[in-house]
Structure 1
Amino acid sequence: MNCKWCHSQEATKSLEKAYWELPDGSRAVEMTHVPSIHCPSCEMIYIQEDIIDEIEDQMMLIDTNKLPDVFSYHQLMDQPKLLKKNYFKF
């Protein structure tokens, strides 16, 4: 896999932890097992844009008050949606 930052061919998919601010700004949470890219050449760990968009959309569609302070990516994606789509995304 090609690293977005240093263009090394050694980047691999990994599951990492990430910290996220809820859309209403009320608190930050820790999310575990987030699909990520890790590059051993430059030591960069990053989340691809499509996964970021997926997380951001899900956060807009669920009741974030029901989220604990620490949860996994899959727990977030399994939350019941209150809306069918993110009407705030342009």
Structure 2
Amino acid sequence: MDKFKTCEWCEENKTQAHLSNVYWELPDGSRAIQIVNVPSVCCSHCDMEYQEESVINEIEDQLMLIDTRLIDKVIPYEELMNLPRLLKRNYFRF
């Protein structure tokens, strides 16, 4: 992520790359997990903290392609993204 990109919320050029902790519902709806150290954007103008769409899509795809029973209640982002996939790609994303 570039430093000082335009904030998607307030449109000011005051964002910085940041790592944050997020909660995510598993695709089957069975439970939510906490993912720590997720690449995020933080705006010093409006204080909004969010994930870019590319990161959201990576997480969503990974959760569709792995055995989610292997995930504890909390998992680091890098560990999640390195779990072995059952399929090569998400065939439902067009």
TM-score by length of 1: 0.96
State the distance in 2 between where 1:6 and 1:88 align. Answer: 32
2:92 is the alignment partner of 1:88: yes
Letter in 2 for 1:38: C
Instruction: Specify every segment of 5 or more residues in structure 2 that has no aligned partner in the other structure, as ranges.
Output: none
Runs of 4+ in 1 over 2 A off after TM superposition: none
2:8 is the alignment partner of 1:4: yes
Letter in 2 for 1:47: Q
State the distance in 2 between where 1:10 and 1:85 align. Answer: 35
Pick one of 29, 32, 35 that aligns with 2:39: 35
Deviation digits for residues 65-87 of structure 1, max 9, x if unmatched?
A: 00010011101001000101112
Q: What is the alpha-carbon root mean square deviation over aligned residues?
A: 0.7
**Aligned residues, how many?**
90
Instruction: Specify every segment of 5 or more residues in structure 1 that has no aligned partner in the other structure, as ranges.
Output: none
Percent sequence identity over aligned pairs = 50
Pick one of 11, 23, 26 that aligns with 1:22: 26
2:33 is the alignment partner of 1:13: no
TM-score by length of 2: 0.92
